[in-house]
Amino acid sequence: MRSLRGRLLVATPLLADGVFDRSVILLLEHGEEEGAVGLVLNRPSDLDVGGALPEWRGAAADPGVVFLGGPVGQGGAICLGRASGPPAVGWEQVVGQVGIVDLALAPEDVLGPVDQVRVFTGYAGWSPGQLEGELEAGAWLVARAEPDDATSLDPSGLWRAVLRRQRGRAAWLANFPDDPALN
């Protein structure tokens, strides 16, 4: 299978129970030998970025909170940034204008061409072959990432928004009720 780096994983109703319910994940890495790593883009926490990383407060995209990137490695931080120009240091492209920001650097060393950041705690991870098995089982849809997905102003609506821009039956899932038993 080709690498899915830079693509979105959109949870299907098969994942209705659990941590990935209606999640949208941007894949940062994907390969046959190393597995996959991604960030859940639509799980804001209550923790203000300024409380966790005060030096990055001014660059944080709205809402300016730390996002829950996934169940693995909670407590560590990963940062995504949107670039308006080619950053020289501290930014590694994932897809289009979106890349990983090196939080070990001072914001003034990265900012300028990087105009918005989103900070995540934890990540989603799959061992080699695990994600491919979940894809075959129909747990995820693979979608093209848009530049605004990583810093969406409406993270709670991102799942439906990504599904609505798909073609065919995938778009129908955007109307899937929160509780099918009440339908």
Is residue 51 in a domain? Answer: yes
Is residue 1 in a domain? Answer: no
φ and ψ at residue 51, rounded to 5 degrees: -75, -35
| Domain assignment of residue 145, given as a range | 7-182
Query: What is the sign, positive or negative, of the torsion defined by CA atoms of 5, 69, 157, 151?
Result: negative
Reported confidence tier of residue 113, pLDDT bands at 50, 70, 90: confident
Contact 3, 131 (CB under 8 A): no
Is residue 117 in a domain? Answer: yes
Is residue 2 in a domain? Answer: no
Is residue 146 in a domain? Answer: yes
Q: For the chain, how many structural domains are there in total?
A: 1
CATH code, domain with 106 = 3.40.1740.10
Model pLDDT for residues 117-172, shown as the tens digit of each residue: 999 999 999 999 999 999 999 999 999 999 899 999 999 999 999 999 998 887 77
Is residue 138 in a domain? Answer: yes
Contact 112, 59 (CB under 8 A): no
pTM of the model: 0.92
Helix then strand count (H, E) for the chain reads 5, 10
How far apart, in whole angstroms, are the C-alpha atoms of residue 88 and residue 81?
13
**Six-digit token pair at 166?**
């798909």
Is residue 84 in a domain? Answer: yes
